[in-house]
């Protein structure tokens, strides 16, 4: 079977952009982290102001880095698991340019102050329409390739990528419903408490089907590939998949505990979040058992090390999540840095690490040469691990302190600590988080250099001929 | 047919797989969302609540532009400490005119649901221009540019009010016609302060838990 048969240049293009957006998004993340330590380093420039830059951070890492990485790996793996060349490669290139242009203009529009103020859906209506159209193109390419497959069963990773495409389309369209007033301003079709319920149905499931489900697609293809082992239990993967798709959707209201929304929705959200632990961990167990046969390779192979560590953080984040969804825990964690710690144990430990591992796997294959430096990749591994751990520990410390101090009452039943006292107590934690971010960013820079050097070392004759002739 | 052979069919048919995912993933959303979003959100506004005036609306849209909501919540939970600190807990009727809702998810700064009337306009002016001039340890950003721009710089207030009217906000033609005049001579800073002062007033005297 020949690798040259596949359309991989568009994979490479998405991969390059994913690395670029990772770097830019993390620089923005480090910058907003620094602004909480030194609040004047926006220098009075509106675009660098905390609110706008933080929104740019989340948009760049989620939709620039995350989605570019997901599309790259989906296009790569769907061809291999279907044994056919990509359907409509021209459309894939159109998707590439459209998506990258949307991220460039979208980030600029956010820095300019265009925002819908809905978390993880901040881009204004012109971008919402562009994203919906691009997403349809993604669906056509992906399902078109599957429809032409040469193998009968549709491989597991494609179920997850498929769920990503379908469910995110549904969430995006409903949550973006709005009436435009001007080019950069629209008003939500839903108001107040209704808007909140719709937003967190979207917000939680964007996390569920993009940051969790989409990346599980990545896991199910690249983990067995790199470990050179078959998936441990096929039946477990079926049960876990459908339980995941069914249960996740119900859990959104755990973002609205004790808010002005009906009590039954909150309780339902909490119960479903607890149940969600089962399919989440079933998938983790399946992954761990798959890699168990490759223990020796795990010690030497950087790609596999990243992927397995990511699996561990996936286990942590999907354990912590249901705990945070318990109302009596959420009373303390809600609105605090604890949430930020939970977010980044998932975002750094799970999403970023599995993507890094996958890129260390992919780039030597795309370039046709071995990785430029395994040592550099190992240094990156330790920087990423240290950065993630420090980030999460600092935010746990900060979040638990906030949660307890804010709710603490004295003997007369009055609040014990003023808001500003608690704010001042956060400073050491914010500084630690900044250091953690710098370590994580430094590791990512090393990876970018390593991957660029690997590409630079490829034999030019293999890379250049047009795809048609290589087929 | 047992479930393994059922799945044997689903995983061999892309159409079935797509349909299955769509079906299974939409159940939860329909049960939770439909009963809530099909009701009229304007039907039960809190007593005394009115839609924002032109100046307050401009201030609210600026609060959105600057993403103040990533650091500030507008949602007081029915917990003793929270009610002591911020005032009566939030009721859904208080948000009837909120498009979009601005409850937030993170309290880097304090809750603002009932900030209206707690400070003077002058305090807010000093605070927004340089938070550290009134709260030395504050980590809130300064917003000097709000004072430099006049309110409704791009002249879109009428378009915005008309859009909201189409969504059911009871703005009269007279109010919309008078809007540019109401903003005349005001700065963005004035608008943000007017918005902050309007927050939470309608339920100030509500019973505590
Ligand atoms: C079983 C799985 C999970 C459950 C039940 C869960 C539950 C929760 C809960 C209860 C919160 C706090 C809501 C609040 O108090 O405001 C939260 C926040 C969050 N979680 Fe998870 N989580 C899970 C997995 C993950 C994973 C794997 C990620 C990946 C990155 C993730 C990303 C987030 C994000 C981004 C937020 C912040 C939302 C906001 O802006 O407020 N979660 N999650
Ligand atoms: C160098 C690494 C990073 C640093 C230093 C960093 C820093 C930050 C900071 C300071 C915030 C704002 C927290 C607050 O308002 O209190 C934030 C929010 C966020 N970041 Fe990062 N970040 C990094 C990487 C990432 C990555 C790679 C992802 C996603 C894949 C990510 C996803 C998010 C999300 C979803 C939020 C919003 C959380 C919420 O609203 O609850 N971050 N980050």
Nearest to B110 among A44, A50, A419 (CB): A419
Please state, in angstroms and as integers, the Cα–Cα distance from residue A159 to each residue in A209, A214, A221, A433, B7, following that order: 11, 9, 11, 36, 12
* Residues A191, B95: C-beta atoms closer than 8 Å: yes
What is the model's pLDDT at position B57?
98
Positive or negative CA dihedral for B46, B48, B51, B57? negative
Positive or negative CA dihedral for A372, A378, A380, A381? positive
d(CA A166, CA A384): 32
What is the model's pLDDT at position B205?
55
Please state, in angstroms and as integers, the Cα–Cα distance from residue B25 to each residue in A167, A264, A445, A459, B36, following that order: 7, 20, 38, 46, 18
Residue B88 C-beta-side C-alpha neighbours within 13 Å: 13
What is the model's pLDDT at position A296?
87
Instruction: Name, in order, each residue with C-beta under 8 angstroms of B181's C-beta and a sequence gap of 6 or more.
Output: none
* Residues B167, A179: C-beta atoms closer than 8 Å: yes
Instruction: Tell me whether the omega of the peptide bond preceding residue A196 falls within 30 degrees of 0, making it cis.
Output: no
Q: Domain check: are B29 and B97 in the same one?
A: no
Average pLDDT value over all residues in chain B: 93
Q: String of b and e for A314-350 (b: at least 16 CB within 10 Å)?
A: bbbbbebbbebbbeebbbbbbbbbbbbbbbbbbbbbb
Instruction: Tell me whether the omega of the peptide bond preceding residue B100 falls within 30 degrees of 0, making it cis.
Output: yes
B208 lies in some domain:
no
d(CA A437, CA A367): 30
d(CA A182, CA A125): 10
A253 lies in some domain:
no
A120 touches chain B (CB under 8 A): no
Strands (E), A109-232: 178-182, 185-188
A222 lies in some domain:
no
Nearest-CA residue for atom 31 of ligand 2 = A347
d(CA B63, CA B59): 6
Burial class (CB in 10 A: 0-12, 13-18, 19+), B115: buried
pLDDT in tens, chain A (471 residues): 444 589 999 999 999 999 999 999 999 999 999 999 999 999 999 999 999 999 999 999 999 999 999 999 999 999 999 999 999 999 999 999 999 999 999 999 999 999 999 999 999 999 999 999 999 999 999 999 999 999 999 999 999 999 999 999 999 999 999 999 999 999 999 999 999 999 999 999 999 999 999 999 999 999 999 999 999 999 999 999 999 999 999 999 999 999 999 999 999 999 999 999 999 999 999 999 999 988 888 888 999 999 999 999 999 999 999 999 999 999 999 999 999 999 999 999 999 999 999 999 999 999 999 999 999 999 999 999 999 999 999 999 999 999 999 999 999 999 999 999 999 999 999 999 999 999 999 999 999 999 999 999 887 644 444 444 443
Q: What is the Å distance from ligand 1's center to A343 Cα?
A: 6
pTM value surpassing 0.90: yes
Query: ipTM score of the complex?
Result: 0.94
Strand partners, A179: A187
SS3 A122: coil
Residues of chain B with pLDDT under 50: 208-209
Please state, in angstroms and as integers, the Cα–Cα distance from residue B24 to each residue in A241, B3, B21, following that order: 11, 15, 5
B52 lies in some domain:
yes
B186 lies in some domain:
yes
Please state, in angstroms and as integers, the Cα–Cα distance from residue A396 to each residue in A393, A402, A404, following that order: 5, 10, 12
* CATH label of the domain that carries residue B124: 1.10.760.10
Residues from chain B that touch A163, judged by Cβ atoms under 8 A, are 21, 25
Q: Domain check: are B72 and B146 in the same one?
A: yes
Q: Domain check: are B31 and B106 in the same one?
A: no
Q: Domain check: are B29 and B51 in the same one?
A: no
Q: How far is B146 from chain A (nearest CA, A)?
A: 10
Q: In this structure, what are the phi and psi dihedrals at residue A250, rounded to the nearest 5 degrees?
A: -80, -15
Q: Which two tokens stand for residue A78?
A: 């769907």
Nearest to B105 among A113, A119, A181 (CB): A119
Q: Domain check: are B113 and B133 in the same one?
A: yes
Q: Which two tokens stand for residue A141?
A: 């390419």
Q: Domain check: are B96 and B33 in the same one?
A: no
B106 lies in some domain:
yes
State which residues form the domain around B13: 3-39
A365 lies in some domain:
no
Q: Domain check: are B106 and B199 in the same one?
A: yes
Residues from chain A that touch B69, judged by Cβ atoms under 8 A, are 51, 117
Nearest atom in ligand 1 to A344's CA: 30
A69 lies in some domain:
yes
Nearest atom in ligand 2 to B108's CA: 16
Reduced to 3 DSSP states, what percent helix, strand and coil does chain B have, rounded to the nearest 5?
50, 0, 45
Which ligand is nearest to the Cα of residue A387, counting in written order? 2
d(CA B174, CA B184): 16
Q: Do residues A413 and A375 make contact, with C-beta atoms less than 8 angstroms apart?
A: no
Roughly what angle, to the nearest 10 degrees, separates helices A50-59 and A89-111? 170
For chain A, the domain total comes to 1
Q: Domain check: are B84 and B186 in the same one?
A: yes
A52 touches chain B (CB under 8 A): yes
Nearest to A117 among B100, B142, B167 (CB): B100
Rounded to 10 degrees, what is the CA torsion of A368, A372, A373, A377? -70
State which residues form the domain around A19: 1-189
* CATH label of the domain that carries residue A113: 1.20.210.10
Q: Which two tokens stand for residue B103?
A: 């409850």
DSSP label of A83: T
Using alpha carbons only, what angle is made at residue B170 by residues B166 and B172, rounded to the nearest 5 degrees?
Answer: 90
d(CA A177, CA A330): 30
The residue assigned the tokens 């600029």 is: A108
d(CA A154, CA A124): 36
Which ligand is nearest to the Cα of residue A214, counting in written order? 1
Q: How far is B185 from chain A (nearest CA, A)?
A: 22
What are the DSSP calls for B87-119, one per residue? -SPP-GGGGTT-SS----SB-SS---TT-TTTS
For chain B, the domain total comes to 2
The residue to mutate among A24, A56, A61, A346, having the most atoms of ligand 2 within 8 angstroms of its beta carbon, is A61
CA A140 to centroid of chain Cα atoms: 23
């Amino acid at each position: 079977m020949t690798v040259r048969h596949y359309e991989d240049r568009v994979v490479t293009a998405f991969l390059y952009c994913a690395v670029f957006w990772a770097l830019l998004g993390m620089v923005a993340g480090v910058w907003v982290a620094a602004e909480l330590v030194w609040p004047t380093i926006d220098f009075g420039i509106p675009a660098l102001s905390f609110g706008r830059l933080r929104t740019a951070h989340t948009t760049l890492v989620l939709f620039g880095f995350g989605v570019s990485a997901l599309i790259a790996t989906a296009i790569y793996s769907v061809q291999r698991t279907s044994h056919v060349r990509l359907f409509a490669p021209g459309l894939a290139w159109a998707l590439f340019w459209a998506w990258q242009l949307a991220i460039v203009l979208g980030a600029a529009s956010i820095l300019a102050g265009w925002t819908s103020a809905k978390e993880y859906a901040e881009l204004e209506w012109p971008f919402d329409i562009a994203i919906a159209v691009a997403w349809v193109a993604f669906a056509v390419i992906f399902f078109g390739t599957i429809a032409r497959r040469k193998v009968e069963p549709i491989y597991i990773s494609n179920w997850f990528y498929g769920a990503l495409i379908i469910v995110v389309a549904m969430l995006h369209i409903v949550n973006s419903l709005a009436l435009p007033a001007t080019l950069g301003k629209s008003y939500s079709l839903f108001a107040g408490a209704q808007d909140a319920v719709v937003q967190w149905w979207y917000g939680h499931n964007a996390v569920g089907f993009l940051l969790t489900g989409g990346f599980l697609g990545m896991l199910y293809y690249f983990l067995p590939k790199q470990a050179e082992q078959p998936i441990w239990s096929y039946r477990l993967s079926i049960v876990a998949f459908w339980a995941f798709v069914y249960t996740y959707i119900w859990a959104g209201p755990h973002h609205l505990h004790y808010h002005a929304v009906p009590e039954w929705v909150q309780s339902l959200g909490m119960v479903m979040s607890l149940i969600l632990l089962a399919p989440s961990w079933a998938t983790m167990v399946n992954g761990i058992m798959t890699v168990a046969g490759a223990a020796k390779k795990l010690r030497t192979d950087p790609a596999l090390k990243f992927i397995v560590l990511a699996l561990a953080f996936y286990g942590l984040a999907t354990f912590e999540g249901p705990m945070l969804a318990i109302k009596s825990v959420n009373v303390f964690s809600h609105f605090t840095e604890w949430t930020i710690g939970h977010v980044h144990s998932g975002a750094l430990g799970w999403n970023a690490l599995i993507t890094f591992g996958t890129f260390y796997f992919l780039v030597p294959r795309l370039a046709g040469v071995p990785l430029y430096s395994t040592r550099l990749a190992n240094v990156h591994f330790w920087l990423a691990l240290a950065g993630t751990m420090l980030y999460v520990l600092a935010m746990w410390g900060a979040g638990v302190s906030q949660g307890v101090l804010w709710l603490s009452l004295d003997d007369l039943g009055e609040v014990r600590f003023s808001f500003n006292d608690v704010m001042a107590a956060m400073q050491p934690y914010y500084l630690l988080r900044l250091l953690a971010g710098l370590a994580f960013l430094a590791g990512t820079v090393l990876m970018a250099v390593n991957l660029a050097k690997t590409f630079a070392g490829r034999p030019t004759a293999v890379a250049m001929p047009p795809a048609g002739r290589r087929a | 047919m047992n479930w393994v052979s059922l799945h044997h069919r689903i995983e061999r048919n892309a159409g079935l797989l797509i349909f299955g995912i769509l079906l299974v993933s939409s159940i939860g959303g329909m049960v939770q969302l439909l009963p809530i979003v099909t009701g009229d959100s304007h039907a039960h506004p809190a007593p005394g609540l009115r839609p924002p005036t032109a100046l307050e609306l401009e201030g609210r849209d600026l609060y959105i532009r600057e993403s103040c909501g990533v650091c500030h919540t507008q949602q007081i939970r029915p917990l003793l400490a929270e009610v002591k600190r911020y005032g009566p807990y939030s009721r859904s009727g208080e948000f009837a005119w909120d498009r979009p809702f601005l409850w937030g998810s993170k309290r880097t700064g304090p809750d603002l649901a009932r900030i209206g009337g707690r400070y003077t306009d002058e305090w807010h002016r000093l605070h927004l221009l340089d938070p550290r001039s009134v709260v030395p340890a504050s980590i809130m950003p300064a917003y000097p540019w709000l004072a430099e721009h006049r309110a409704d710089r791009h002249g879109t207030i009428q378009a915005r009010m008309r859009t909201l009217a189409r969504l059911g906000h009871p703005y009269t033609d007279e109010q919309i016609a008078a809007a540019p005049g109401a903003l005349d001579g005001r700065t963005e800073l004035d608008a943000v302060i007017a918005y902050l002062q309007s927050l939470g007033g309608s339920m100030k005297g509500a019973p505590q838990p």
